[in-house]
A and B are shown apart, each in its own frame.
Chain A
Amino acid sequence: MERHIQAPINKEEAAVLRAGDYVYISGTIYTARDAAHKRMYETLAQGGELPLEMENNVIYYMGPSPAREGRPIGSAGPTTASRMDKYAPDLLDLGLIGMIGKGKRSQAVKEAIVRNGAVYFAAVGGAGALLSKSITKSEVIAYDDLGTEAIRKLEVKDFPVIVVIDSEGTDLYETVMSK
């Protein structure tokens, strides 16, 4: 099913999404990948404050290539989500509603998705040039020293994703392989 959704996303909106739905996201999302997750995880362990609110927000696992002059961002496709599996359950328990990446997730992440009524989306891996066209604005809001791995606030318009794991824990990748 094709749907249009506005980010941040609340739990009621997330609950209607089903594995296999083709979704266009508009609104505000945030980027974070390996190094930013490690830093957020360490911050939480030390009792510190995260640089962004998790509640109802969507994190895009992405580190862009540099933007040419006059453009908001360079190539901007998803990175492999499983590398964030160690960190994702804690963020989901803090209210993170959505993750955009590519590839399989661990059992612990699936359980945290179901526990919190969240959702895991995939964007098409290796379509970074195309996906960059749905990003209208990009601003580094934390961890600038991490370069491409810094946390960015993105404004997106009809950013195309597919629901892979829905809030009930149905996993599209598994459905596909068991056919």
Chain B
Amino acid sequence: MRMVDVADVTRNIKEMCIEANHFLAEDMDEAMRHALQEEKAPLGKQILCQLQDNLKIAGEDMIPICQDTGMAVIFMEIGQDVHFTGGSLEEAVNEGVRQGYVEGYLRKSVVGDPLIRENTKDNTPAVIHYEMVAGDSVKITVAPKGFGSENMSRVFMLKPADGIEGVKNAILTAVKDAGPNACPPMVVGVGIGGTFEKCALMAKKALTRPVNEHSEIPYVKELEEELLLKINDTGIGPGGLGGTTTALAVNINTYPTHIAGLPVAVNICCHVNRHAVRLL
């Protein structure tokens, strides 16, 4: 058994909230530079150029890449041989978010009740997903999610008869409806299978997979490639102002499902697609 002090969790999450809001992850940085080279439309190129300038200013002057610094979504993959000491893990995670958002000059975008809508003033609570895995390490993924793109995300409860064409249509529908609202070039996270909530969670987690890595399942990899081409054919382009770069990647995760169902979730993310990963 390995002991992990929850104070280490707090410190790391604080740093990761600040890091993810000022610097792109390496995979996203590379994808954005590549997009600028590949974009065909002049206005699209100009927008991608502005986004490069924006990233430079964000990192040099420590101004968040986007003013929507997101609701903190945190994946905790916990080795089953880990024992946490020093207090409540959930409180430690939220304390990390609190410190990161208050000390890091990040926007506080969370309301304590969805209908009463009073701001909690420290961006807590986070949305935390725990997963027990083999081993004795703790993998933390901090993925603050902006709501311009979150609002354009969808769950489709398809029928088995809808098949792969139904899945493609669902993804394209979600992307076209999102259009300029989701701050393209976007990253499209997709979950196929499982249950209603499982496919949504898979779609969210798919957004944290590096955009230069495909699914290990051959037909899913092909589906990712085909959909990326189709999405970039829509003409939506950077900022929704026209162009050949509408998405940087389509990341699809799958899971077994019920004989009667074909759930599909499409979680759309903007071109910042914040994610920071650390292993404790």
User: Which of A42-50, A65-73, A87-95, A109-117 lies at the binding interface?
Assistant: A65-73
The 8 A CB mask of A125-163 against B (1 = contact, 0 = none) is: 111111111000000000000011000000000001010
Given contacts A65-B106, A126-B65, contact A79 B236 (CB under 8 A): no
Residue of B46, B51, B57 contacting most chain A CB atoms (<10 Å): B57
Q: Are A177 and B235 in contact (CB under 8 A)?
A: yes
Q: Are B107 and A64 in contact (CB under 8 A)?
A: yes
Q: Are B64 and A179 in contact (CB under 8 A)?
A: no
| Distance in angstroms between the alpha carbons of A77 and B46 in the assembled complex | 17
Q: B239 on the interface (CB 8 Å rule)?
A: yes
| Distance in angstroms between the alpha carbons of A62 and B107 in the assembled complex | 12
Number of A residues with CB within 8 Å of any CB on chain B: 41
Q: Are A63 and B67 in contact (CB under 8 A)?
A: yes
| CB under 8 Å from chain A, chain B span 14-55 | 43, 46-47, 50-51, 53-55
Q: Are A126 and B240 in contact (CB under 8 A)?
A: no
The 8 A CB mask of A4-31 against B (1 = contact, 0 = none) is: 0000000000000000101000000000
Nearest opposing residue in chain A for B55, CB measure: A129
The 8 A CB mask of B48-78 against A (1 = contact, 0 = none) is: 0011011101100111111111000000000
B154 to chain A, nearest CB (A): 16
The residue that B242 contacts in the complex, of A79, A147, A176, with Cβ under 8 A, is A176
| Distance in angstroms between the alpha carbons of A122 and B176 in the assembled complex | 18
For A56, the chain B residues whose CB sits under 8 A away are: none
Q: A37 on the interface (CB 8 Å rule)?
A: no
- Additional pairs, 11, CB under 8 Å, beyond known A80-B151, A172-B241: A20-B43, A62-B67, A75-B69, A76-B67, A80-B148, A102-B148, A104-B181, A124-B47, A124-B54, A128-B67, A129-B64
Interface residues of B (CB under 8 A from A): 43, 46-47, 50-51, 53-55, 57-58, 61-69, 105-109, 117, 119, 121, 146, 148, 151, 176, 179-181, 183, 234-237, 239-242, 270-272
15 contacts between A and B (CB under 8 A): A22-B46, A65-B67, A67-B105, A75-B63, A77-B67, A79-B67, A102-B148, A104-B180, A124-B47, A125-B239, A129-B54, A130-B53, A132-B63, A147-B108, A177-B176
